[in-house]
Structure 1
Amino acid sequence: MNANNKIELLKAEAFDASLDGKKIALYTLESGNGITMQVTNFGGRVVTLWVPDKAGNYEDIVVGYENIDRYLNNTGERFLGCVVGRYANRIANGKFTIDNVEYTLPVNNATNSLHGGLKGLDSVVWDVDKVSGNEIHFSYTSPDGEEGYPGTVKYKMVYTLTPDNEFKIAYEAETDKATHVNLSHHSYFNLKGEGNGDILDYMLTINADKYTPYNEVNIPTGEIASVKDTPFDFLTSYRIGERIDNDNEQLKFGAGYDHNWVINKEMKDGVEFAASVYEPSSGRVMEVWTDQPGIQFYASNWFDGSFNGKYGKPINRRAAIALETQKYPDTPNKPEFPSTRLNPGEVYKQTCIYKFLTK
């Protein structure tokens, strides 16, 4: 897809399918002010997201597939555009303890359980409870013991495109037994358009004085470290490629940036600015706002061009950016980190906003 001022939507028929007796479909949302998004209820995936550049030309800026079969068969990358959970990010050794009971999860990332295990919230069909021109309401009930997690958990998730060209995600969850919940969104963004080059010239800002260093299998050590005088200082805007391959142990562990930053929070629960990324050639800017304490920046270091996106272009190394708002990795095993425990009678809530503009 070359830059032009036209939006080319995927056909809904390409997403007509069923899984585990539940219907999968494709839905189209519009902000009313220039942004169009297509989503499927298989994993709550954002499949296309059309955003104008500074000249009014449109590109689809998320990595995805052109039909449901490629998602179901995982033809390249599992976590494209989806919700991740029950637990976003990594849990060490796939184990945690609640009230002296140890729970064991599937290990699917070195020695860790990642993004909910083998069949997380990205791999189930969500119910669509309501859909309008700019908003879709999802729900899903995860049974007790699913992927090893305790408690029957009822999830609600609302995607909204606002007139301010925001993609807003609101999550809720309730449980009947103490468990851990940490949700996030996992779109891979390329502000030049899917498959159109890498992200190394993007200018990134992260509103964080600190980050959580990790060990060689990407599990936090428990330290909350200053970003000062490190390649992790994005308090002022830096070009992503400027320091990504520095001689730095943390960058070597992640093959580049794949870390959690501790957001500078002024309010305990309110939505605040977390990060922004600016792509100079198109003028596109994406801001990230959240009420969560952490944001994971992943520079798609492990993509290698072995799969194509929906327009036939290979998705090469560092061809997209993921900015995932959440609590910190391995929090169930790190009592010093913000807790992800959810008890009966409590309601987990989270808001994440991706806002699009140009300059």
Structure 2
Amino acid sequence: MPDGLTYFSKLYVCFANVKSGWLEGCRKVLGIDGCFLKGVCNGELLCVVGRDANNHIFPVAWAIVYVENKENWMWFLELLKDDLELGMGTGFTLMSDQHKGLMEPVKDVLPCVEHRQCARYIVANFKKRLSPKAHKYLMEKEPKTWSRAFYKVGRLCLAVENGIYESFNAIEAKYWQVLPSGLNKFETRNEGQAYDVNLENRTCSCRLWQLNGYGCAHSVATILFLNRDIDTYVDPILCRSTYNKTYLNNILPMNGSNMWPETLFTPHLPPQIRRIFTRPATKRKRDVTEKMGKHKVSKKGKPIVCSDCHMHGHNKVTCPTTNKPVKLMGKRPKITKTTHESVVEGSVNGGA
């Protein structure tokens, strides 16, 4: 700073082993978000997480900044772009909220990335602006009018839960009739439904095979029709060998700051306190989907035990064995003192 003091600005962390694990075996989808730090050191934490082959959270990189704004997001994305070799963002998907300081940096740093917004925030905005009846109709009847159900082809990641398809693809395959239509081209038919399957390109007209990487009921029926091994048609990123590469290297242990070698660098001071013109908020802003009021845990089904007599069926307020003082209503009645009490009181007061 001009006054010669050194203040903390920001800190970026991306371990080499974590970076190599993401490059080797994770899906091409990144989730990015920020949150407040509450404690001795204030500021904000920016983090990026990925998904492994089992759709589990895989932390990639994180940073500590004093405020979440356009400048800090731009700095964070540029470092992330170099570490993960994202280039212009082609072939990758970025998921985030609707923070205004993040939208423009993504366009500048990763102009070709598929930038998607979390459906939770979209639904929350709909709930603010629409009536309950219109919101229910939009969510249940017309979801395709406001959202896309899946990522782009090649991400090998589904935006919706795919556990049902993964479990029952092989079972549903027996209900589909396979009709050859040329070399590695087939038509799978079931009553009024029909889909085009191409084993050479590993595509199906339902688009599920291109999205998840392991096939759909129509492709499984076609592969079984030819008596071929289904495992050979699974994308390599979902294989065990690729999954092992993701967690091949781990984060090595590190000694505490008491064992760090001394340096000649100037110690950093905490970041300067930002002054805002309005009254600072002290309460967290509740989401529209949260219930207002206090959240109480129901005691239904829990046996009541008195803390005084330790008997069941009542508490200490209604305990019959405990002598409770009787609360007098209205004015307290005047008590006439006896002569002996007056003499004792007078002697005490006189002595005092």
TM score, norm. by length of structure 2: 0.23
Query: Which has a greater percent of strand?
Result: 1
